Structure 1
Amino acid sequence: MLQITEFVTGNLTIAQIEDSRFIKHGSSSSMGAVTRISFCLHDPSDYFKSASFVYNWDFGDGVYQITKEPFVYCNYSTMGNRTVHLKVVAEWQQIGSIIHETETVQKTGDFTTALELLDAVKSIHVVGSRETHVMENLSLSLHINGTPPLALCWLIKSECIPLEGEKCHLVVITGSCYNLSHTFSDAGQYCLSVRVQNGVTMLQTYREIKVWPTGIQPAFFVLLCIALVLVMVGLVLYTTFRSNTQQKDLVEVADFDFSPLSDKSLSSHSESGCGQVCCRSCFLRSSPEAARESHEFLLSFYKPVKMYTV
């Protein structure tokens, strides 16, 4: 048995364009994004297969539109709640059952849906230190730019991973800020993964955290490295300076002045110190001729000499 209803039946659906595809959000939509509102006709028996439809749209913000397609695109610029009204008019021709003449048949339907306009989650800013120590409490603050309520999910692991389907710490916040704390039991490199979503959009972010062993201060480690570098530079400079010094010529000059001696002084010298000057001359010759020969020999032998030591 086919039951003919008096009005057109169907329902309204709301979807939003994200990444060139339509994402259904129920009664929520993101402010400033393109929203598609569609009418889905319920006609399992093809009763309206020959009908033509006219759709009268009221977007709830003073804007009206008439289309022949069962969908429309709109873009809301302000947040808040909207009520969308749609009047569907179906019209077709059929032969009358009494006078067997063609008559126009028309059916209508009124539909209403509530639309909540939310601001999309645009950014997640993590405030806090990127370094900590083992068994030390690390406190971080998450500042979120988006319309609450927000579903926040965070997880700390050794690598950065997407949180789709992953177990995490899930909280619902009604503001734009959330504080979290965590204590690390082992040293190493870690990653904080954060996912925030509201009724229309979802956003993820990551932050690397360095955990140091207990007792090792990063500042002390840096100073130790600087001191080691300075010592190495000083050693290189000292070695270079010493090598350059050894390559210089060290000159030592010794001048011996043997000026001619008088006969008297030579004679006295021959008498008193001949054993020290030339023993052979003293013992062999004692005459003045021998003294003169010895003097000439000394003058020719003991010439001024310059010695150069390298």
Structure 2
Amino acid sequence: ESLPPDGWELVKKGSAGHYYNRYVGPGQLRAQSIREAWKVHEMDCRLSTDGDDGNGDGGDGSGDDGGGSELEEQQSCSMRERQAEPPPLILSKDVAAEMQAAGLDTSPSHEPPFDQVKLPAAGTLVEVRMLDDGLLGSRYPASVIDWEVRYPGEGGGGEARALVEYQGLYASDKAEGIKLREWVALPQLHLPPAAHCADESDWLGSLALRSPLELFHEGGWWPVLLTGRQAAGVVVYLVEAIGYGVERQVIASQLRPTSCGLSSSKVAPAAPATTNLGCGQATGRPGAVAGAGSRTSSRARVTSERALSSCETW
């Protein structure tokens, strides 16, 4: 019994410097060792066989030895622990096209900071590359809580992912203060960029119009284009959200250089200065943002509420 039963897979997990193995079988059955996996597997097979005999009068568990209740409890617990599958590592075609038009590289990093060998330690600060509709292109700061590597049977390559807690996304009402946690694939994790020069005149003052930047907006960093400057006591910058067609007035402390690689060395042409819109007023195509709020992942409610909030405030 050196190998787990058919359909079971090895999951390597780690938390706060502790490393351990778990085995996961069909129906999210779980075991802590190969021997336990075989016991659970055989118990499941016996229960399945008993349930098929006669007229089904043995299915209520009243005449068994208690194994069914134990299995049901384990299955119920495992369903509560079941994690969402990571979304595909691609951007929406519309957002990706506009990012590429701005000279930004939208492909995943060729040298990601983490993989099945270089696993993130608990407490590591990262930025998660968001892939949900309504959040596409943004990066949200988070900290690593846990990690795991799933292996399909013995040997072969593993699929690594990390459990993260977001600094600016919440599992329910923000007033309750419960921060959102979720499992994400390691290629979505990026190290925060190095701090840039605090003197805005050293980099923002000489930056050409239509140059890509990132704006800190509602807990995450969003790709934007510089579209204008205005000085009225405090220098205000006009930026346009890439892929969402919405323009805002912001101050220097809300901006940072782009963390996406530039896909070409071509300098974007300068744009004419935009008109004064009034701080926080949005123009462009807000309906395009509102139309990007659908969700298909298991965290649909949380992210859809976040997307609607983003639509209203962009």
Q: TM bucket by the smaller chain?
A: under 0.3
- Higher Cα Rg: structure 1 or 2? 1
TM-score under structure 1 length normalisation:
0.22
TM-score under structure 2 length normalisation:
0.22
Higher strand share: 1
- Highest relative contact order (Cα 8 Å, sep 6+), 1 or 2? 2
